[in-house]
């Protein structure tokens, strides 16, 4: 029976006990079929129930004795749903993220394909008239703001757009679209936008803009790299330096060579503007994958990619798995953004996956951002990326001035409100001029830190250099890394003042104070409370864009990706709230936030102003951000990371324990950490690799009435230690995890909150 062929399959059932290959005989009638990457039906288990499975390998060898082998029942796909090139990446993901094979496979295949949903073409909207549009907009605007908004979005975007992108952007319901169709102003059709609808709409040809000197230099380096083959590039360019234009030129080169491109953007940046910029340039050869697509629509776009009907995809995180056959480049915009990290199964990071995919498929990786993460920049200094810099804005406009206000002075002057005098005056001016402002509360989670309002001193752990967290019960402060407890400091150890306060103000209070000071002001809040329903986010932003409100108040969720021409003031109420999170990345996050906020204003003709309030105005994160000085920030920060052994000078493994009963959750956390400590103590390599370990309440210690504890293991950064610790934690999960589905391991957490 030498001529038998065997298929190694992974069955489509997520269970740890069957997380491996199973070999099946390929029956004679299927031998001519190319099976790798296809789905098949196989008899499984004692009952021989037929279940779905993915073929990952075909060979003429198996370790199993012949009498134990069963045969494949049936092939389900005409063409593979997994490309052969995806398979090494699937194994890499399993190894790196310790996920099940089927979880890794599922990342490659959209739900609509998995469930065999009928693919349907995304609905497109076409603007039928251009002449006299203003008059029409005014006319329909009287009946419904939404209708006018739809027309406005279409007009500004030079071409047809997917319907759900417009409805997301405007918040408009189906009835508004129907209303416009009835009036003969728009068409709705299924299918690909007609390229004719994109060019020349405003009488301007789709001519490529002349590149700036910096863009030319950047592109030259990227082109040289493309010519050489695979390589990684870090494009460090300030906001408005024209990175997107550089991306598009590089993509143009790749496509001209007959290869394909993946362009990743954070969800919030995947706006009609982004889409139409690519559609204008490349027409129908662009697929778009965003999270508002239905399963059927996503399946449709995915099949266009699979069949080679497009040359590129612009999409969010999961588009990194797009089934291109001859990938030339992956571009990741705003590469520092945490939304590239998946918090579901598998817990992958799109930048890491992209790096590995480019490595395997000999493609070029370009990561672009104004504020690289410390790890990314560090990797660059170690030679993992070629650095390309763009230091100036395209239009030569200066970066907006950032005014840092010292809130300690305000206190001395007797001002106990949340608004400094400078911010108060600026808000008043904005309201007088009928412009708009954004106020940011900058509160991540609910962690509370304690600080002196007279001198800005912040209670920190002496061993870990992170802010201590306030616990109302017992008036103690606790370090969330090592668990050390500290007494509540009723008197400031730095200046002797009694003005010690815990921080953590809400947007609601901000709104109250604001309406007391400016009785007529129209404010809208965007925070966890107001955005819990689906699309609430978009609706608030759309209303603000329409000018229904003067001031948008919110948490950092409003900081990025927003471009409001009428906004001339951005205020950060307390920059310190993110500075003093119990997390080693707090300075980095603060730097990114202030830089990003500064990049958002002053894009329109009116210029703009940024006011940052702080009790620690001299903190390096705030100071360097206000001077737009990334390098100085990096130098300072990387030294601190080294001194206190934080990433990239250590790796942190997070074990999150979630439970309904507080006592049980705490007990399980302690059992887990004791088990780990015992095993580490017994092994010389584990012991050498350990920096610290501790079980503590998570900084956000209760979400949805469920208690959260975490065990943090900090280890030395070395592949060998990674290896042994990953094994140890896997064993730990076997020991404690399966019984209670509430132990979550994150080997590469982007946040410790
Ligand atoms: P970034 O992504 O770096 O923040 P963008 O790519 O969004 O910057 O560019 C900012 C603006 O400058 C955009 O409106 C873009 O159309 C315009 N732009 C980019 N490159 C050029 C150029 N070479 N000439 C004229 N305008 C440009
Ligand atoms: Zn500590
Ligand atoms: Zn003090």
Ligand 1 atom, smallest distance to 241 CA: 3
Specify the higher pLDDT residue, 533 or 6. 6
Ligand 1 atom, smallest distance to 277 CA: 16
Determine if the peptide bond prior to 551 is cis (ω within 30°): no
Closest to 571 (Cα-Cα) out of 451, 417, 447, 466: 417
Q: Quickly state the pLDDT bin for 418 (edges 50, 70, 90).
A: confident
- Helix axis angle, 630-643 to 374-381, nearest 10°: 90
End-to-end CA distance of the chain: 58
Q: Highest mean pLDDT range out of 255-259, 491-495, 558-562?
A: 255-259
Q: Quickly state the pLDDT bin for 344 (edges 50, 70, 90).
A: confident
For 219, the enclosing helix (H) or strand (E) is: helix 213-228
Specify the higher pLDDT residue, 544 or 270. 544
* Digit-coded pLDDT (tens) for 695-749: 888 876 766 667 889 999 999 998 889 889 988 998 888 888 755 558 888 888 8
467 lines ligand 1 (CB under 6 A): no
Specify the higher pLDDT residue, 563 or 708. 708
Tell me the best of 214, 216, 217, 244 to mutate to test the pocket of ligand 1, counting ligand atoms within 8 Å of each CB and taking the most. 244
Ligand 2 being an ion, which residues bring their Cβ within 5 A of it?
461, 463-464, 479, 481-482, 484
Contact 351, 750 (CB under 8 A): no
Q: Which residues contact 652 (CB under 8 A, 6 or more apart)?
A: 646, 712, 713, 714, 715, 749, 752
- DSSP string for 704-729: TTEEEEEEEEEE-S-HHHHHHHHHHH
Specify the higher pLDDT residue, 517 or 474. 517
What pLDDT is stored for residue 444 in this prediction? 47
C-alpha to C-alpha distance for 388 and 8, rounded to whole angstroms: 44
What pLDDT is stored for residue 202 in this prediction? 39
Q: What is the CA radius of gyration of the chain?
A: 28
* Digit-coded pLDDT (tens) for 213-257: 999 999 999 999 888 877 899 999 998 899 999 999 999 999 999
What pLDDT is stored for residue 362 in this prediction? 92
pTM, two decimal places: 0.83
Percent of the chain with pLDDT over 90: 42
396 C-alpha to center of ligand 2: Å? 46
Question: Considering every ligand atom, which ligand is closest to the CA of 497?
Answer: 3
What pLDDT is stored for residue 72 in this prediction? 94
595 lines ligand 1 (CB under 6 A): no
Give buried/exposed letters for 441-462 (b at 16+ CB in 10 A, else e): bbbbbebbbbbbbbbbbbbbbe
CA distances, 532 to each of 267, 528, 529, 537, 703 (Å): 17, 6, 6, 8, 14
Specify the higher pLDDT residue, 742 or 263. 263
Specify the higher pLDDT residue, 35 or 577. 35
What pLDDT is stored for residue 199 in this prediction? 43
* Digit-coded pLDDT (tens) for 621-648: 999 999 889 999 999 999 999 998 999 9
Q: What are phi and psi for residue 349, nearest 5 degrees?
A: -115, 125
Question: Considering every ligand atom, which ligand is closest to the CA of 696?
Answer: 2
Q: Kindly report the protein residue whose alpha carbon is nearest to atom 17 of ligand 1.
A: 242
What pLDDT is stored for residue 197 in this prediction? 47
Q: What is the largest CA-CA distance in the chain?
A: 92
What pLDDT is stored for residue 714 in this prediction? 93
Contact 334, 269 (CB under 8 A): yes
237 lines ligand 1 (CB under 6 A): yes
> Cα 159–163–167 angle (5° rounding)?
110
* Digit-coded pLDDT (tens) for 572-604: 888 776 666 667 888 998 898 888 877 766 555
493 C-alpha to center of ligand 3: Å? 7
> Cα 665–671–674 angle (5° rounding)?
140
Mean pLDDT (the chain, rounded): 85
Ligand 1 atom, smallest distance to 390 CA: 3
> Cα 289–268–349 angle (5° rounding)?
70
Question: Considering every ligand atom, which ligand is closest to the CA of 212?
Answer: 1
Residue whose structure tokens are 């006592």: 663
CA distances, 219 to each of 212, 301, 689 (Å): 10, 29, 42
What pLDDT is stored for residue 741 in this prediction? 57
Mean pLDDT of all residues in 73-96 = 93
329 C-alpha to center of ligand 1: Å? 21
Which of 21-30, 35-44, 209-218, 579-588 is predicted with the least confidence, judged by mean pLDDT?
Answer: 579-588
What is the Cα 41 distance to its own chain's centre? 36
Mean pLDDT of all residues in 151-180 = 81
Closest to 531 (Cα-Cα) out of 550, 549, 554, 551: 554
Q: What are phi and psi for residue 431, nearest 5 degrees?
A: -65, -40
Label the pairing between strands 364-369 and 327-333: parallel
What pLDDT is stored for residue 446 in this prediction? 42
245 lines ligand 1 (CB under 6 A): yes
394 C-alpha to center of ligand 1: Å? 6
> Is residue 510 classed as helix, strand or coil in its secondary structure?
helix
Residue whose structure tokens are 């204008």: 280
Mean pLDDT of all residues in 363-372 = 95
Residue whose structure tokens are 């870990």: 464
Q: Quickly state the pLDDT bin for 680 (edges 50, 70, 90).
A: very high
DSSP H helices, 62-170, are 86-97, 101-108, 111-114, 133-143, 145-156, 163-170
Ligand 1 atom, smallest distance to 333 CA: 2
Residue 206 above 70 pLDDT? Answer: no
Token digits of residue 653: 């493994």
Residue 29 burial by CB count (10 A; 0-12/13-18/19+): exposed, middle or buried?
A: exposed
C-alpha to C-alpha distance for 691 and 55, rounded to whole angstroms: 42
What pLDDT is stored for residue 203 in this prediction? 39
């Amino acid at each position: 029976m030498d001529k038998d062929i065997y298929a190694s399959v992974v069955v489509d059932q997520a269970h740890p006990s069957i997380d491996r290959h199973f070999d099946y005989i390929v029956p004679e009638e299927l031998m001519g079929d190319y099976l790798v990457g296809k789905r098949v039906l196989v008899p499984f288990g004692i009952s021989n129930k037929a279940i779905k499975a993915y073929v990952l390998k075909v060979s003429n060898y198996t370790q199993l004795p012949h009498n134990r082998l069963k045969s494949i029942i049936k092939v389900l796909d005409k063409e593979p749903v997994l490309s052969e090139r995806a398979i090494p990446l699937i194994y890499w993901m399993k190894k790196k993220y310790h996920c099940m094979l089927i979880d890794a496979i599922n990342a490659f295949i959209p739900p609509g394909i998995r469930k065999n949903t009928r693919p349907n073409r995304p609905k497109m909207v076409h603007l039928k008239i251009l002449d006299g549009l203003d008059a029409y907009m005014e006319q329909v605007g009287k009946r419904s703001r939404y209708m006018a908004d739809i027309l406005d979005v279409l007009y500004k975007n030079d071409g047809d757009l997917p319907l759900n992108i417009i409805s997301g952007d405007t918040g408009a319901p189906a009835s508004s679209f129907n209303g416009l169709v009835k009036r003969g102003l728009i068409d709705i059709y299924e299918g690909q936008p007609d390229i004719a609808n994109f060019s020349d709409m405003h009488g301007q040809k789709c001519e490529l803009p002349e590149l700036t000197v910096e863009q030319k230099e950047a592109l030259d380096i990227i082109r040289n790299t493309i010519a050489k083959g695979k390589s990684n590039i870090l494009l460090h360019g300030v906001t408005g330096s024209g990175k997107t234009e550089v991306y598009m030129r590089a993509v143009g080169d790749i496509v001209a060579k007959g290869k394909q491109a993946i362009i990743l953007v954070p969800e919030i940046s995947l706006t009609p503007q982004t889409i139409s910029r690519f559609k204008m340039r490349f027409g129908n050869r662009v697929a778009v994958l965003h999270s508002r697509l239905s399963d059927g629509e996503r399946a449709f776009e995915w099949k266009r990619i699979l069949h080679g009907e497009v040359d590129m995809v612009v999409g969010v995180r999961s588009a990194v798995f797009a089934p291109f056959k001859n990938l030339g480049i992956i571009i990741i915009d705003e590469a520092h953004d945490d939304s590239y990290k998946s918090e579901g199964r598998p817990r992958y990071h799109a930048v890491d996956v992209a790096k590995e995919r480019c490595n395997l498929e000999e493609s070029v990786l370009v990561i672009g951002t104004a504020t690289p993460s410390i790890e990314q920049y560090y990797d660059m200094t170690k030679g993992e990326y070629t650095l390309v810099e763009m230091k100036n804005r395209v239009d030569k406009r200066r970066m907006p001035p950032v005014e840092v206000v010292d809130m300690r002075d305000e206190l001395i002057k007797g001002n106990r409100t949340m608004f400094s005098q400078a911010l108060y005056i600026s808000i008043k001016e904005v309201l007088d001029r009928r412009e708009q402002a954004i106020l940011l509360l900058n509160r991540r989670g609910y962690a509370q830190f304690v600080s002196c309002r007279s001198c800005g001193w912040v209670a920190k752990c002496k061993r870990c250099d992170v802010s201590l967290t306030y616990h109302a019960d017992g008036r103690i402060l606790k370090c969330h890394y090592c668990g050390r407890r500290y007494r509540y400091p009723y008197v400031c150890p730095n200046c002797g003042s009694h003005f010690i306060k815990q921080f953590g103000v809400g947007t609601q209070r901000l709104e109250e104070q604001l309406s007391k000071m400016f009785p007529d002001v129209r404010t809208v809040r965007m925070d966890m409370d107001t955005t819990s329903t689906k699309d609430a986010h978009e609706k608030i932003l759309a209303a603000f864009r329409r000018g229904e409100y003067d001031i948008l108040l919110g948490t950092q969720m409003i900081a990025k990706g927003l471009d409001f021409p009428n906004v001339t003031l951005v205020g950060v109420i307390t920059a310190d709230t993110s500075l003093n999170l119990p997390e080693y990345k707090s300075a980095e996050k603060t730097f990114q936030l202030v830089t990003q906020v500064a990049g958002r204003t002053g894009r329109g003709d009116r210029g703009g102003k940024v006011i940052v309030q702080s009790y620690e105005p001299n903190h390096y994160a705030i100071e360097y951000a206000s001077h737009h000085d990334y390098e100085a920030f990096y130098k300072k920060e990387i030294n601190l990371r080294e001194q206190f052994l934080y990433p990239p000078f250590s790796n942190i493994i997070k074990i999150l324990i979630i439970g309904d009963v507080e006592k049980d959750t705490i007990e399980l956390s302690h059992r887990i950490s004791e088990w780990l400590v015992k095993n580490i103590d017994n092994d010389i390599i584990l012991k050498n690799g350990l920096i610290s370990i501790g079980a503590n309440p998570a900084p956000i210690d209760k979400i949805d009435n469920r208690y959260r504890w975490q065990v943090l293991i900090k280890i030395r950064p070395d592949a060998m230690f990674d290896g042994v610790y990953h094994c140890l934690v896997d064993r730990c999960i076997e020991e404690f995890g399966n019984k209670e589905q509430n132990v979550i391991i994150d080997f590469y957490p982007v946040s410790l909150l």
